[in-house]
Amino acid sequence: MTQPTSKTLIVVAGPTAVGKTVAAIKLAQHYHTVVVSADSRQFFREMAIGTAKPNTQELVSVKHYFIDSHSITDSFSVGDFEKQGLALLDELFKTNDQVVLAGGSGLYIKAICEGFDDLPTADPAIREKLNQELEEKGIVHLQQELLLADPVYYNEVDLGNPQRIIRALEVFESSGKPFSSYRQATINKRPFNIIKLALNLPREVLYNRINDRVDLMAQQGLLAEVEALLPSRHLNALNTVGYAELFDYFDGKTSLEKAIEMIKQNTRRFAKRQLTWFRKDSSFHWFQASDRDVLDQMISTIDTIL
């Protein structure tokens, strides 16, 4: 019989711009612990403004892990994050009874909390064929293929990220089974307890915060950041909201004003997909980020479970 553990992972999730960073830092300070990021874009050193990383003061206030931990040139998958993240937690739990895991990337949170079935190895020819379809027919064509093959994943994935769409399609074509089915089968028991907290805001409030955040990014120098990354635009890490739209601007396909508006629109859509993902997990405890005592509510919930 396994002994019960006193080690607990406190997950802080929710849509982009809802206030996860501040909540995670305050919880980490309260429990005298650290924050592990589960934001799939904040790993990359070269992407700062467009990923809304914690600022210098926030990073100093509490020790953070998986912020600026990798380069966009590194091959770093969700499977890699699972292995490295679990190894890190094993070390952190030697000196901490609680650790905070914060981020909006549902797939990466799932990787740490549950893990995945082993995905089939795809035939390289299938990936080559799909990349050719992307080049010749465009991303909308692949999106429609994904909708037919795997409507569950279609409603969760960042549809602006061609590499994730191609990965799902190659798994489907290799195995005949939807990519989503591999993520829902086995839940791997972890050697620590897990408390899942999620923040939300009324839709209009959240969307206004997203719009204001994008305007602030523009003021902080997002355009210059993206311009510096133009030589690396082929890398998977840069196939993401906030960068792809500005690549179109530099290609002369759109105006700067339109590109900024598209970043806002695509970020709002992304937030909607994040909420869809987290709401499907009944183990989350939900909180209104706008409540004045939201931190007290979260701490009370944690302490009741601990």
CATH label of the domain that carries residue 215: 3.40.50.300
Q: Are residues 289 and 258 located together in one domain of the fold? A: yes
- 8 in a known ligand binding site: no
Residue 1 lies in a domain: no
Residue holding tokens 């890398």? Answer: 235
Q: Are residues 159 and 278 located together in one domain of the fold? A: no
Contact 21, 206 (CB under 8 A): no
Q: Are residues 234 and 296 located together in one domain of the fold? A: yes
Residue 3 lies in a domain: no
Looking only at the bridges linking them, the beta strands covering 8-13 and 64-65 are unpaired
Q: What is the DSSP string of 178-196?
A: -HHHHTSSPPPPPSSEEEE
- 115 in a known ligand binding site: no
Q: Are residues 30 and 174 located together in one domain of the fold? A: no
Q: Are residues 203 and 110 located together in one domain of the fold? A: yes
- 19 in a known ligand binding site: yes
d(CA 303, CA 299): 6
- 14 in a known ligand binding site: yes
Residue holding tokens 């030589």? Answer: 231
Q: Are residues 93 and 208 located together in one domain of the fold? A: yes
Q: Are residues 39 and 107 located together in one domain of the fold? A: yes
Residue 2 lies in a domain: no
* Chain segment 260-298, per-residue pLDDT in tens: 999 999 999 999 999 999 999 999 999 999 999 999 999
d(CA 89, CA 8): 10
Q: pLDDT value at position 184?
A: 55
Which residues span the domain enclosing 66? 8-115+187-305
Q: Positive or negative CA dihedral for 155, 161, 162, 166?
A: negative
* Start-end of H helices in the chain: 20-30, 56-61, 78-92, 106-113, 124-137, 139-149, 151-154, 162-175, 179-182, 203-220, 222-228, 244-250, 256-279, 294-305
Residue 22 lies in a domain: yes
Residue 228 lies in a domain: yes
- 34 in a known ligand binding site: no
* Chain segment 57-68, per-residue pLDDT in tens: 999 999 999 999
Q: pLDDT value at position 1?
A: 39
Residue 23 lies in a domain: yes
- 240 in a known ligand binding site: no
Residue 85 lies in a domain: yes
CB-based contacts of 230, cutoff 8 Å, min separation 6:
247, 250
Q: Are residues 169 and 250 located together in one domain of the fold? A: no
Q: Are residues 138 and 68 located together in one domain of the fold? A: no
Q: What are phi and psi of 53, to 5 degrees?
A: -65, 155
Q: Are residues 36 and 104 located together in one domain of the fold? A: yes
Q: Are residues 76 and 205 located together in one domain of the fold? A: yes
d(CA 225, CA 47): 8
CATH label of the domain that carries residue 178: 1.10.20.140
Q: Are residues 103 and 223 located together in one domain of the fold? A: yes
Residue 14 lies in a domain: yes
Number of structural domains (the chain) is 2
The stretches in the chain having pLDDT less than 50 are 1-2
d(CA 151, CA 278): 17
